[in-house]
Homo-oligomer: A and B are copies of this chain.
Amino acid sequence: MARTAGSTGTETLERLQDAALELFAREGYAAVSMRAIAARTGVQAGAIYKYFPTKQDILFDLLAGHMLALEAAWREGAGSELSDFVRFHVRYHLTRPREMFISYMELRSLEPENFRRIRELRRGYEAIPRQMIEEGIAKGAFNVVDTEVTTRAIIALLNGLTTWYREDGRLSLDEIETVYITLVNRMVGAGEEEEENV
Interface hit among A8-16, A70-78, A179-187: A179-187
By a CB distance below 8 angstroms, the chain B residues around A31 are 30, 109
Q: Does A176 contact B (CB under 8 A)?
A: yes
CA of A183 to CA of B161 in the docked complex: distance in angstroms? 17
Are A28 and B109 neighbours in the complex by a CB distance under 8 Å?
yes
Per a CB cutoff under 8 Å, which of B108, B161, B176, B182 touches A28? B108
By a CB distance below 8 angstroms, the chain B residues around A157 are 153, 156-157, 160
Interface size class of A (residues with CB under 8 A): 35 or more
Chain B residue nearest to A176 in the complex (CB)? B149
By a CB distance below 8 angstroms, the chain B residues around A148 are 171
Known interface pairs A30-B31, A109-B28; A163-B171 also in contact (CB < 8 Å): no
By a CB distance below 8 angstroms, the chain B residues around A175 are 146, 149
Are A108 and B27 neighbours in the complex by a CB distance under 8 Å?
yes
Are A179 and B149 neighbours in the complex by a CB distance under 8 Å?
yes
By a CB distance below 8 angstroms, the chain B residues around A28 are 28, 30, 108-109
By a CB distance below 8 angstroms, the chain B residues around A179 are 145-146, 149-150, 153
CA of A179 to CA of B154 in the docked complex: distance in angstroms? 12
* Nearest-Cβ distance from residue A190 to partner chain B, whole angstroms: 10
CA of A152 to CA of B108 in the docked complex: distance in angstroms? 25
Chain A: residues with CB nearer than 8 A to chain B? 26-31, 104-105, 108-109, 145-146, 148-150, 152-153, 155-157, 159-161, 163-164, 171, 175-176, 178-180, 182-183, 186-187, 189
Q: Would you list the 3 A-B pairs with minimal beta carbon distance, nearest first?
A: A156-B160, A30-B30, A149-B179
